[in-house]
Amino acid sequence: MLRAAICLLIVLLAAPLPAIERERLDVYRQRREALAAAHPDGVIVLLGYGEKESQSARSSFRQENNFYYLTGWNEPGAVLLLVPARAGHSDDAEQVGNDYREVLFLPRDNPSDERWNGPRAAPEDDGIAALSGVGEVRGAPELDSVVAAAARHRPRVYTLFPYQESHSLQPEVDRRERVQAVAGGLPLSNIRSQIERMRGIKSASEVRLIQKAVDASAAAHREAWTRVRPGAFEYELMAVMLQAITARGCLRPAYPLIIGSGPNSTALHYSTNTRRLAKGELVLIDVGGEYAHYAADITRTVPVDGRFTARQREIYNLVLDVQKKLIARLKPGMTLHGGGPNDLTEMAKKYFDELGRERAGQPMGEYFVHGVGHHVGLEVHDPADLSRPLEPGMVVTIEPGLYLPEENLGVRIEDMLLITPDGSRLLSRALPKDAAKIEHLMKIR
Ligand code: GLY
Ligand code: MN
Ligand code: MN
């Protein structure tokens, strides 16, 4: 008994553990099976990022999001092959090869690469199939022959084409040529929208990871509030927030930090963060960390002096009012954008016009210049059709704002919410937004 326990301990200590928290391996497997089952007429070939393809030279390796969603695999140079089951072919002379099959191809063991980058998994490692959770693991050089054999009865190769130009996301390198080389003469089809549709509905474990990103980010906002004062530089707040998210396990921010004081509060994605905060201004802080590849996206706007002026409070409370009204209406069936009677962006404009006219003497809708929210997940702006009606399991922001450049005054309040069967759950509730509560927390150091 004791010997068995010691053996188990040795095995556990010796097993290479993934550096980043992941979902359970069977969650990734279910996604792969569902995707394959929906594409029985072809094989699916997805290229993970290579060392140099990952985001930028300034960031550590980060896997391509769709590849990560299906595998949880965060090492460079991997390729995933999914071979859907072929139903109704059991009478074929050749009976092998009709079952669902999945193969992860990994670069071969490379000691000199490991000297530079640290240990990497290789196809010849003991226990590699269990570590990856993928049925079969093979060396990268076998890719062409395995794909050719698998595609014999499924003569089409599904893969990821780059984003459409119209998409607001960062442009991507076109890797179709590399896939075509593997596919030989077979036609390629784009599988992007099917994976992205799946990504729209978060699993319970994805929501838990997002919640960790949100909680770390909420703590960072609270810490920054205690450092806001006239004379401080925007980057001093940035330093405090980067420290706070990193100390909570976020390996990077989910997007460039936006810390805009005075006039900069009116520029939606200002992220230079070099200005000195001055008396009588607001500072808009839009900062979220990334935890285990999942993003948070939270904005608060606070007074540099620790107290809102009457005018600032008026605009602030108007934005807060509109945000609360929108959150009250958030539920399955509503849409973030795209027109129609359930469009929350249209509703936000209407609320600003109605409520703003009463209180500020002019229609305010024209100062609300962006969409009311977006999906969040592996990307801060998770790819999604914003006119798709909301469904339980989606995670979105609600972020109305008013930007008045002639007054150097911009206010945005941004929270993250999980859509539930009958409404929504506020994931960023740890971060207060009531004006008096913010003033109070700014004093506590
Ligand atoms: N942080 C970018 C956005 O709010 O959409
Ligand atoms: Mn946002
Ligand atoms: Mn934001």
DSSP collapsed to 3 states, 246-312: HHCCCCEECCCCEEEEHHHHHCCCCCCCCCECCCCCEEEEECCEEECCEECCCEEEEECCCCCCHHH
* Cα angle, residue 20 at apex, residues 14 and 22 outer, rounded to 5°: 95
Atom of ligand 1 nearest to the CA of 374: 5
User: 297, 298, 398: which to mutate for ligand 1, most atoms within 8 A of CB?
Assistant: 297
Whole-number Å distance, alpha carbon 239 to ligand 1 midpoint, is: 19
Q: Quick one: pLDDT at residue 360?
A: 65
- Ranking 92-96, 134-138, 151-155, 299-303 by mean pLDDT, the lowest is 92-96
First to last CA, the chain: 53
Q: Tell whether the model's pLDDT for residue 298 goes beyond 50.
A: yes
- Show Cβ contacts of residue 127 under 8 Å, excluding neighbours closer than 6 positions: 15
Residues touching ligand 1 (Cβ under 6 Å) are 255, 286, 297, 380, 399, 414
Cα 141 from chain centre: 32
Q: Tell whether the model's pLDDT for residue 58 goes beyond 70.
A: yes
Q: Quick one: pLDDT at residue 18?
A: 58
Q: Quick one: pLDDT at residue 26?
A: 97
User: 214, 368, 380: which to mutate for ligand 1, most atoms within 8 A of CB?
Assistant: 380
One DSSP character per residue, 364-408 reads -GGG--S-S--B-SSSSS----TTSPP-TT-EEEE--EEEEGGGT
Q: Quick one: pLDDT at residue 14?
A: 45
Question: In the structure, what pLDDT confidence band is assigned to residue 95 with cuts at 50, 70 and 90?
Answer: very low
Question: In the structure, what pLDDT confidence band is assigned to residue 94 with cuts at 50, 70 and 90?
Answer: very low
CA dihedral 143, 146, 147, 149 (to 10 degrees): 160
Question: In the structure, what pLDDT confidence band is assigned to residue 164 with cuts at 50, 70 and 90?
Answer: confident
Residue whose C-alpha is closest to residue 149's, from 165, 160, 138: 138
- Domains of the chain are 17-199 (3.40.350.10), 204-443 (3.90.230.10)
- Ranking 16-25, 238-247, 408-417 by mean pLDDT, the lowest is 16-25
Q: Quick one: pLDDT at residue 80?
A: 98
Please list, residue by residue across 37-61, b when 16 or more beta carbons sit within 10 angstroms of its beta carbon and e when fewer do.
Answer: eebeebbbbbbbbbeebbeeeeeeb
Question: What residues pair up with 46 in beta bridges, in sequence order?
Answer: 80
Q: Quick one: pLDDT at residue 338?
A: 86
Whole-number Å distance, alpha carbon 234 to ligand 1 midpoint, is: 18
Q: What residue has token string 């000195």? A: 276
Q: Output the average pLDDT for the chain.
A: 92
**Cβ 374 vs Cβ 341: under 8 Å:** no
Whole-number Å distance, alpha carbon 362 to ligand 2 midpoint, is: 26
Atom of ligand 1 nearest to the CA of 258: 1
Determine the Cα–Cα distance for residues 142 and 154; give it in Å rounded to an integer. 19
Cα 8 from chain centre: 36
- Ranking 1-10, 78-87, 376-385 by mean pLDDT, the lowest is 1-10
Q: Tell whether the model's pLDDT for residue 318 goes beyond 90.
A: yes
Whole-number Å distance, alpha carbon 381 to ligand 1 midpoint, is: 8
Instruction: Summarize the confidence of residues 305-317 as an average pLDDT.
Output: 97
Number of neighbouring beta carbons within 10 Å of residue 410: 27
Whole-number Å distance, alpha carbon 95 to ligand 3 midpoint, is: 54
Atom of ligand 1 nearest to the CA of 269: 2
Determine the Cα–Cα distance for residues 232 and 234; give it in Å rounded to an integer. 7
Tokens in use for 343? 């469009």
Instruction: Summarize the confidence of residues 32-45 as an average pLDDT.
Output: 97
Q: Quick one: pLDDT at residue 7?
A: 46
**Cβ 22 vs Cβ 68: under 8 Å:** no
**213-253 pLDDT, tens per residue?**
999 999 999 999 999 999 999 999 999 999 999 999 999 99
Task: Please name the residue whose Cα sits nearest to atom 5 of ligand 1.
Answer: 381
Whole-number Å distance, alpha carbon 323 to ligand 1 midpoint, is: 15
Q: What residue has token string 């707040």? A: 237
CA dihedral 215, 304, 255, 24 (to 10 degrees): 0
Polymer length of the chain: 445
**338-396 pLDDT, tens per residue?**
888 999 999 999 999 999 876 667 789 999 999 999 999 999 999 999 999 999 999 99
Whole-number Å distance, alpha carbon 177 to ligand 3 midpoint, is: 35
Tokens in use for 80? 């995933």
**171-182 pLDDT, tens per residue?**
777 889 999 999
Q: Quick one: pLDDT at residue 10?
A: 45
Q: What percentage of the chain reaches a pLDDT higher than 70?
A: 90
Instruction: Summarize the confidence of residues 269-289 as an average pLDDT.
Output: 97
Q: Tell whether the model's pLDDT for residue 271 goes beyond 90.
A: yes
Q: State which residues have CB under 5 angstroms from ligand 2, the bound ion.
A: 297, 397
Task: Please name the residue whose Cα sits nearest to atom 3 of ligand 1.
Answer: 297
**Ligand nearest to the backbone CA of 270:** 1
Instruction: Summarize the confidence of residues 78-101 as an average pLDDT.
Output: 76
Query: CA gyration radius for the chain?
Result: 25
- Ranking 10-19, 68-77, 133-142 by mean pLDDT, the lowest is 10-19
Task: Please name the residue whose Cα sits nearest to atom 4 of ligand 1.
Answer: 297
Determine the Cα–Cα distance for residues 192 and 42; give it in Å rounded to an integer. 15
